[in-house]
Structure 1
Amino acid sequence: MEITSKLLNSANAIIEAKIDAKSIENKLNDIAKITAKKVKIDGFRPGNVPVKIVLDRYKDDLLKDAKQELFKKAIDDGLKDIDKKTDEILGEPIFSKFDEKDGNIDAQIEISFRPAVDVSGYEEVIPEYSTPRVTKKEIEEKINELLKMIAPLEKIEKDVLESGDFAKFDFEGFVDGEAFEGGKAENYILEIGSKQFIPGFEDGMIGLKVGEEKDIKVKFPADYQAPNLADKDAVFKVKLHEIQAKNIAEKLDEETLKKLVPNEEDITIEKFEERIKTQIKEDKFQKLLNEDLKPKFVDAIVEKINFDLPNVIVEQEIDLQFRNAWDSFSKEDMEKFRADKDALTNKREEYRSDAQKSVKLTFIIDELAKVRKIEVSDNEILQTVYFEAYRYGIDPKKHLEDYKNQGILPAVKMALIEEKLFNDIFKKDKKEEKGE
């Protein structure tokens, strides 16, 4: 077996392995001898199965094992030549060449390593910005929203239902003259104009009088969640019982405050308004961060910091982006890519630039997190996964187990580190609040 290796750059290497047929045969026989001592075959005592019998029955599988062991040795020997260790390898090695002829193998293996990333000077590209301010009007508007949210509904004497009113009504839906499951309710409460129902339904209710019945014709959206109803014409029979409105408090007082925060005895209106101010400020900051600061910083830092990218990881990212985009292709394109390998390769290459940027940013963020001592605990990851499960009505333990099996938890951790990092880089609140 002949092994040669060379570093392409600080993050990539190529190992060339020429494995002769004799080496493969010797390794196959060695594995067969070991297997013969362990395998159980009817008619032979344990440990006394002839090697020939083992080879006759399991040669194909044993040959694969022999080749794998030889490739592992080739990689180990190649790493020694370039003064690298196995634990420095990133991702799975890629065979960029594999020729097998007359029992001999001529292979070229690409290997990638974690790059050295120097982020010194990153502060120079942090965008300047002003800490978001909160006006009294914004605080009042937010409190009014909360007052509306907790306000009780009351029946009102009104002739005709209008947008903004709450309707108490019965309804039943029909498609092709047949009632469908989940399309019926009695004494349902709906805010007209809230767009909670499918397009056309709430508009069709406007103008109804109390006690009046009406057939409302609608069409389910093409992307409706129930496939049996998607893009179907439907008729809803409705009967209006009451018109209601919310009895909203004119201002925040001590009694209403207790309804908003029932479990806090020492809360005051002043403390609550300060809490609302903090919330609005945080919401403004997150909007500014996600829509302006973060994109600017990412573009600038990726341009400023340069290092060798691990090719194996870049190729994995290209594959991931291409797979994620597959469903967005037209049927014609899908058929074209299945039939034409060159077209498939060219389309895949379109994702290289974005993949390189994504991989580069991942390593930069990882290094910045170390520099700024950003850490994410296992408990934080657990809380994030559980919260996501509760939000979508999924069993939390099963959701966590699925994420473990699919290898998604590292991505969850990376997302949390990124969120913490950008908040840490851009947070000015503590420095500037004294001057407010």
Structure 2
Amino acid sequence: MLKANWEKIEKNVGLLEVEIEEQQVSEALDKAFRKVVQKVNVPGFRKGKVPRKIFEARFGIESLYQDAIDILLPGAYSDAVEQAGITPVDRPDVDVEQFAKGQTFKFKAKVTVKPEVKLGDYKGLEVPAADAEVTDEEVNAELERLQQRHAELVVVDEGPAQQGDITIIDFEGFLDGEPFEGGKAERYSLELGSGSFIPGFEDQVVGLNIAEEKDIHVTFPENYQAENLAGKPVVFKVKLHEIKRKNLPELDDEFAKDVSEFETLEEYKDDLKAKLKERKEKDAEAARETAVIDQAAANAEVEIPEVMVESEVDNMLRDFENRLSSQGMNLELYYQFSGQNEEALKDQMRADAEKRVRNNLVLEAVAQAENLEVTDEDLDEELANLAKIYNRKADELRAIFTSNGYLSTLTADLKVRKAVKFIVEQSKTAA
């Protein structure tokens, strides 16, 4: 048997006092002995065969206490948490008050718990009307993007470089007459007008002829990541080697045939318009969701423990690292290229992480307030969808998720989605 008493001592922090009966202490000591005796050497006895009385006489019963505590504590803490009805969000700070043979096991755990949410208005929230109509100008702009994508690069033998050209250049940067680290490259491909270089650099490459050299004067932005260069005027010695210019295809029926299954440009434009409309409708739906969630979160009162924000930042950092990995990159390379470090990147993520945590807590509270539950049918449908994505059987996924504890996470996620759907359905469009 286990006794647990929970008492709040701060806003989101409380003290969990736990007492475990003597019988469980005795059983834990037995397990600890069976574990420890395998490792000790006592003259006259084979390893693992030392009698309990001789072991205790030689090493003392106290030598088993820490192992016995390690055996008891995890399960006892979990049971006490369940009995107290709390949801910890961080590792507990445990203080063992009593542990000895023939006594009960007493410990206290200082626990940070999921905060309580005081909901404000979340029904009938007003959101601006979204325009999902597609104009001819938008269709033409999409056509021009496709035209640029299918352009042919042609080498220009003579004449100056122009905006939009792909130039191959050598450059070396100097600060106060001395070259600086990272400021040199050979045969670098630069699209003029792309904005990928320091403001003013690309504009000064415009007009250069092949094999021509030029000193380009620019000033690094005040917020540039390299502190030794931020706000400093520098000179780049530049040499132009090649110019490549985009040869745009004609927007006609032949173009439509080349890039689509349609025979005429008009048919292709109609299809583009339909797809743009579908995209705008999805974007409008997503924007409506975001607007009502943000409003509901802003109307609620909740004090978020810092540990929850930090945990979300860590999750975001892992996701970012996975995205980099899919692009053949890693965090170390990213830090080198961006001039950032892990601390700076985490600082950038922190505001978004706090917003995510807040929104999720509020949506969980909405689900509880409205008694929104995830049914077996909801779970079966979600597992069926995931089975298609991962090309596995739904029963296999259920078994995997159950074994690794993810099924409860999936259920919680589905409940949050129901809360989103609920507040969106309850919302109204502003006049």
Structure 1 stretch displaced more, 271-280 or 234-243: 234-243
In structure 1, list runs of 5 or more residues that go unmatched: 116-120, 330-350, 384-406, 428-436
Contact 1:169 1:238 (C-alpha < 8 Å) held by counterparts: no
In the alignment, which residue of structure 1 is the partner of 2:97?
100
Contact 1:15 1:109 (C-alpha < 8 Å) held by counterparts: yes
Deviations 1:16-68 (A, max 9, x none): 32469x77974664234323554463743143124454797797884233234
The AA in structure 2 aligned to 1:284 is K
Question: Which aligned pairs between 1:120-159 and structure 2 lie closer than 5 A?
Answer: 124-125=124-125, 127=127, 129-130=129-130, 132-154=132-154
Question: Which aligned pairs between 1:406-417 and structure 2 lie closer than 5 A?
Answer: none
Q: TM-score normalised to the size of structure 1? A: 0.56
In the alignment, which residue of structure 2 is the partner of 1:298?
293
Question: Which aligned pairs between 1:165-244 and structure 2 lie closer than 5 A?
Answer: 165-166=164-165, 168-175=167-174, 183-186=184-187, 190-218=190-218, 235-240=235-240
Task: Please give the alpha-carbon distance, in whole angstroms, between the structure 2 residues aligned to 1:55 and 1:378.
Answer: 59
Contact 1:314 1:355 (C-alpha < 8 Å) held by counterparts: no
Deviations 1:203-258 (A, max 9, x none): 2223434543212244566887899988887643333456654333442322x234
Contact 2:363 2:419 (C-alpha < 8 Å) held by counterparts: no
Task: Please give the alpha-carbon distance, in whole angstroms, between the structure 1 residues aligned to 2:267 and 2:373.
Answer: 35
Mark the CA change 1:77 to 1:239 in structure 2 (over 3 Å): closer, same or farther.
closer
Task: Please give the alpha-carbon distance, in whole angstroms, between the structure 1 residues aligned to 2:410 and 2:234.
Answer: 42
Deviations 1:145-171 (A, max 9, x none): 211232224466985545x24154431
Mark the CA change 1:25 to 1:423 in structure 2 (over 3 Å): closer, same or farther.
closer
Mark the CA change 1:417 to 1:379 in structure 2 (over 3 Å): closer, same or farther.
farther
Task: Please give the alpha-carbon distance, in whole angstroms, between the structure 1 residues aligned to 2:79 and 2:244.
Answer: 80
Q: CA deviation at 1:286?
A: 5.1
Task: Please give the alpha-carbon distance, in whole angstroms, between the structure 1 residues aligned to 2:373 and 2:270.
Answer: 32
Contact 1:220 1:230 (C-alpha < 8 Å) held by counterparts: yes
SS of aligned partner of 1:134 = coil
Mark the CA change 1:211 to 1:283 in structure 2 (over 3 Å): closer, same or farther.
same
Mark the CA change 1:60 to 1:225 in structure 2 (over 3 Å): closer, same or farther.
farther
Task: Please give the alpha-carbon distance, in whole angstroms, between the structure 2 residues aligned to 1:282 and 1:5.
Answer: 56
The AA in structure 1 aligned to 2:48 is G
Contact 1:216 1:238 (C-alpha < 8 Å) held by counterparts: yes
In the alignment, which residue of structure 1 is the partner of 2:363?
361
Task: Please give the alpha-carbon distance, in whole angstroms, between the structure 1 residues aligned to 2:406 and 2:226.
Answer: 28
Q: Percent identity?
A: 25
Task: Please give the alpha-carbon distance, in whole angstroms, between the structure 1 residues aligned to 2:96 and 2:206.
Answer: 74
In the alignment, which residue of structure 1 is the partner of 2:41?
41
Contact 1:219 1:233 (C-alpha < 8 Å) held by counterparts: yes
The structure 1 residue matched to 2:276, chosen from 276, 280, 283, is 280
Mark the CA change 1:146 to 1:53 in structure 2 (over 3 Å): closer, same or farther.
same
SS of aligned partner of 2:276 = helix
In the alignment, which residue of structure 1 is the partner of 2:67?
65
In the alignment, which residue of structure 2 is the partner of 1:246?
246
Deviations 1:168-226 (A, max 9, x none): 4431324565597793334x654322212233321222343454321224456688789
SS of aligned partner of 1:48 = coil
In the alignment, which residue of structure 1 is the partner of 2:331?
none
Q: TM-score normalised to the size of structure 2? A: 0.57
Contact 1:147 1:248 (C-alpha < 8 Å) held by counterparts: yes
The structure 1 residue matched to 2:308, chosen from 314, 317, 327, is 317
In the alignment, which residue of structure 2 is the partner of 1:3?
3
Structure 1 stretch displaced more, 241-250 or 195-204: 241-250
Contact 1:32 1:54 (C-alpha < 8 Å) held by counterparts: no
Task: Please give the alpha-carbon distance, in whole angstroms, between the structure 2 residues aligned to 1:165 and 1:237.
Answer: 21
In structure 2, list runs of 5 or more residues that go unmatched: 318-341, 346-352, 392-404, 426-431
Task: Please give the alpha-carbon distance, in whole angstroms, between the structure 2 residues aligned to 1:363 and 1:148.
Answer: 49
SS of aligned partner of 1:196 = coil
Task: Please give the alpha-carbon distance, in whole angstroms, between the structure 2 residues aligned to 1:69 and 1:48.
Answer: 22
SS of aligned partner of 1:16 = strand
Mark the CA change 1:75 to 1:55 in structure 2 (over 3 Å): closer, same or farther.
farther
The AA in structure 2 aligned to 1:317 is M
Task: Please give the alpha-carbon distance, in whole angstroms, between the structure 2 residues aligned to 1:199 and 1:66.
Answer: 66
Question: Which aligned pairs between 1:343-354 and structure 2 lie closer than 5 A?
Answer: none
In the alignment, which residue of structure 2 is the partner of 1:335?
none
Structure 1 stretch displaced more, 228-237 or 65-74: 228-237
In the alignment, which residue of structure 1 is the partner of 2:399?
none
Structure 1 stretch displaced more, 360-369 or 191-200: 360-369
Task: Please give the alpha-carbon distance, in whole angstroms, between the structure 2 residues aligned to 1:18 and 1:60.
Answer: 19
Contact 2:216 2:235 (C-alpha < 8 Å) held by counterparts: yes
Q: CA deviation at 1:302?
A: 5.0
